[in-house]
Amino acid sequence: MSAAPLYRADDLECYAAALLAGAGLPADDAALVAAVVVQADLDGVESHGLGRLANYLERLRRGVVNPRPQLRLVRQQGATALLDADNGMGQIAAVRAMEEAIRLAQSHGIGWVAVRRSNHFGATSFYVGQAVAVGMIGLALTNSPPGMAPYGGRVARLGTNPIGLGFPRAGGDPIVIDMATSAVARGQIIKADRAGQPIPPGVAVDAAGVATTDAAAALRGALLPMAGPKGYALALAFELLCGALSGAALAPEIPSFFDNWEQPSNVGHVLAAINIGAFGDAEEFGARAAWLAETLTATPPAEGHAGVLVPGERRAALARARRASGVPVAATTLALLAPHGAALGVPPPEPITPGA
């Protein structure tokens, strides 16, 4: 199989922003959503990168998502707030919510913002990165349409409900945890289906509830929770925090992102920030985080493993490498975007020569 063509990250951002602006987003919002999308590709999380953009554009084109929402804080009490996203892009709502969480944390030591009436927001790592960038701890949660069966069941009833956590570390990349509560993210199944590749055993069942390694069959069936009942319990907890607490929809009420062209999603998020200085010395925290990370990575490797990594290290290193040398984008991804570009008069970016 030939390698995917490489593109400059800046060119991909400009391309994505032009498509989003053409679909009705204000220029600043289009640039922000594009930055979130391309950052996922830089991080190697292609399932939440440009591979999602065609779906965003189609939902905007059909009016399922509001391109010019009026975001507003409908409640605020102490360190908490509730943001109504007015059915806008999830990325815009999540960034705004984390900005508010950081503001609250500066005054109260912690900021917790729930979001309702939103949409798919991509990878959680972008938003926890906002908090880490100002020396705080970040938390990001979201619910999503049914894609995962509860433990012991065979029909999807919960979303893959991811969690993101970010921690500053002195002298190194931040510690960033970004994971679904399903055995694999649904986006990885979609990516495998587009590429005609199998999925790992033990992560999904087909529509009859039979274990499968066929990506298309898994999309018609259900993903399984990570760690069995533990992943199920976490997904349930995040569902209640994101959906019930905010007044957003719960998973069984959320229509599919991929074939619903009429109903708003009403997805819920939680964005939170913790001001380390409210608990102690922020520099000492960063140093202790660095010591712990170094202690973990110094662990002798187990058989068959190259060694221990700290969450976030691989992504950060890959993002630097791709920023310098180019971002691979599958031809199938660009093919999905081509009709939108043609309709809007937006030409695709030019690939670059490896090593140039």
CA distance between the termini of the chain: 22
Q: Which of 120, 269, 305, 340 is catalytic?
A: 120
Around Cβ 54, how many Cβ atoms within 10 Å? 18
Tell me the two tokens of residue 46: 């292609």
The amino acid that residue 128 corresponds to is: V
Sign of CA dihedral 119, 336, 25, 91: positive
User: In whole angstroms, how far apart are CA 205 and each of 122, 148, 153, 239, 257?
Assistant: 24, 10, 10, 22, 20
- Could you confirm whether 120 is annotated as catalytic? yes
Order of strands, edge to edge, in the sheet holding 80-84? 72-77, 80-84, 110-118, 267-274, 137-142, 163-167, 175-179
* Cβ contact 75:95 at 8 Å: no
* H/E element, 235: helix 229-239
The residues annotated as belonging to the active site are: 120
